[in-house]
Structure 1
Amino acid sequence: MNRQFHFISGLPRSGSTLLSAILGQNPRFHAGMSGPVGGAFNTLLGELSGRNEYSVFISDEQRKRMLKGLFDNYYGPEFEAPVIFDTNRIWCSKMRHLRPLFPQGKVIACVRNMSWIIDSIEQLIRRNAFQPSSIFNYQPGGTVYTRAEGLANGEGMVGASYNALKEAFYGDETANLMLLQYETLVSNPASAIAAVYDFIGEPAYAHDFDNISYQADEFDLRAGTPGLHAVRSKISVRERMSVLPPDVFRRFENDAFWLDPTLNPRNVRVA
């Protein structure tokens, strides 16, 4: 099938599910929450490496065909849309692989003030107090300090994706990268989506920002985090007080490097 693949990546709790829900209104597009292709891609890449005793028989061209085949086979005939958006936080760390496999494929990295990302996850944990979350390996202990530290370290849910984002932002493949700010998406969705369409080279579509539909309740419940992928039907900005202690909130408030033009030497698009 002759289809175009694009990728949604970036930071957690930064609007990737909302973006997918909006894009999914366009019948030309298929977009959803994070799926299994990213993990399968990483596993296959490892299995095709030198640790496999038969790797001597595998050329780079064969590796490319097999890796690209993951997408062609997962998104089989049942996916009729000609434009596919695959979502996974891993893609920001795979720009060097995606560029030769999908030369026209674009990566849209969703970003958000880091303090509010940590706050958003903490809100979820408190809201589901009787259901330990997969985010913390279903461990019921800890405090807001240990949870914030676990999220932000290099192996954590937020820290790992943040490091991958910086790798993409300062790498050689930035012509295929755009950052989309959560703050823009919820305060001015029409402008944010127009920027996405311009970036991927697709004709405009009349989206309904007052009737967004997306459900992943079964997945969220299994993950012990109901509401993890909840999307409100009408996009709006919600003003609220953070549940983080002030010292935790201040720790991350200067991490939005994408807001400083002097830290953007490759002129990556930021919407």
Structure 2
Amino acid sequence: MQGDIHFISGLPRAGSTLLSAILRQNPRFRAGMTGPVGSLVDGMLRSMSMSNETAIFISDEQRRELVKAIFSTYYADLPKGHVVFDTNRNWCARLPLVTELFPRAKVICCVRHIPWILDSVERLIRRNKYQPSGIFNFEPSGTVYSRVDGLAGPNGMVGFAWNALREAFCSEQSACLLALTYETLTTQPERAIAAVYEFIGEKPFAHDFQNIEFDAEEFDRRIGTPGLHKVGRRVESPGRKTVLPGDLWRKYENDAFWSDPARNPNQVRVV
């Protein structure tokens, strides 16, 4: 790769698309919603594992170069001196691999109060009442309780990301992490973006927080969840009441471990 690479990871519905929409205003930056690189890396690792009888002929050095080739091929058109931010919630669970391949890379972890994440998904489901969502395998049945259980399970959209984030916070590679809260990004965008620039070692850029552009309408339509990646034109904090039943809210309201110094043993910076 001719340019530099950093990663956006963390929790779903926590501002990663908004962050990318802001960063891409900088003509030297490339950023977007979750892309295919993470799944391509997982597919390559699986294909080179011992589940493939011919994998005995592949050395670890070859495995490393093949995985790195996914990045260099996918971002082959990145001009020299430019910066790419690859988004995938899986990167928090792949820190040993990421930091070996790209020692200078930083990982921006978008985080948000867990009940509001669950609330955000539930609102999308209720808004698109005539379109079953791919988030729940296009199954039209279910209740808010079954949907939240599915999201928060170990392999669920929220549960997996939350576990991966906890793993990253406690890992030997945690120095490459910056936790960016949804609350700061939406109420103090100038402070949030300044912290990102400082963390990755880039010179400040004058972003326009009143004119944000991002369109993934076709992608969202194909997974039966219109609005999943919709970003409002202005950066603002949504003021609203939750649609979650009280018992569900209380079940997850203490899960924001990043805000508790006792649960952040490596002192990952939180903005």
Q: TM-score range by the shorter chain?
A: over 0.9
Say whether residues 1:46 and 2:17 are aligned partners.
Answer: no
Counterpart Cα distance in 2 of 1:250 and 1:236: 26
1:84 aligned counterpart, secondary structure: strand
1:219 aligned counterpart, secondary structure: helix
Q: RMSD between aligned alpha carbons?
A: 0.9
1:221 aligned counterpart, secondary structure: helix
Counterpart Cα distance in 2 of 1:148 and 1:55: 39
Q: CA deviation at 1:262?
A: 1.7
Q: CA deviation at 1:54?
A: 2.1
Superposed, 1:112-151 pairs within 5 Å as: 112-151=112-151
Counterpart Cα distance in 1 of 2:209 and 2:18: 10
Counterpart Cα distance in 1 of 2:56 and 2:159: 36
Corresponding residue for residue 95 of structure 2: 95
Which residue identity does 2:29 align to in structure 1?
F
Which residue identity does 2:172 align to in structure 1?
D
Which residue identity does 1:210 align to in structure 2?
Q
1:35 aligned counterpart, secondary structure: coil
Stretches of structure 2 lacking an aligned partner (at least 5 in a row): none
Which residue identity does 2:160 align to in structure 1?
A
How many residues align? The count is 270
Stretches of structure 1 lacking an aligned partner (at least 5 in a row): none
Counterpart Cα distance in 1 of 2:89 and 2:124: 19
CA offsets 1:37-73 (integer angstroms, 9 cap, x no match): 1001001011111222222221211111110110111
CA offsets 1:139-184 (integer angstroms, 9 cap, x no match): 0000001101110010111001111111111111011111110000
Structure 1 runs of 4+ aligned residues shifted over 4 Å read none
Which residue identity does 2:82 align to in structure 1?
P
Counterpart Cα distance in 1 of 2:138 and 2:72: 34
Q: TM-score, normalised by structure 1?
A: 0.98
Corresponding residue for residue 199 of structure 1: 199
Corresponding residue for residue 20 of structure 1: 20
Identity %: 56
1:142 aligned counterpart, secondary structure: coil
Q: CA deviation at 1:76?
A: 2.2
CA offsets 1:6-59 (integer angstroms, 9 cap, x no match): 110110000000000000000110000001110010010111112222222212
Corresponding residue for residue 155 of structure 1: 155
1:8 aligned counterpart, secondary structure: strand
Counterpart Cα distance in 1 of 2:238 and 2:90: 29
Q: TM-score, normalised by structure 2?
A: 0.98
Corresponding residue for residue 110 of structure 1: 110
2:53 aligned counterpart, secondary structure: coil
Counterpart Cα distance in 2 of 1:241 and 1:20: 27
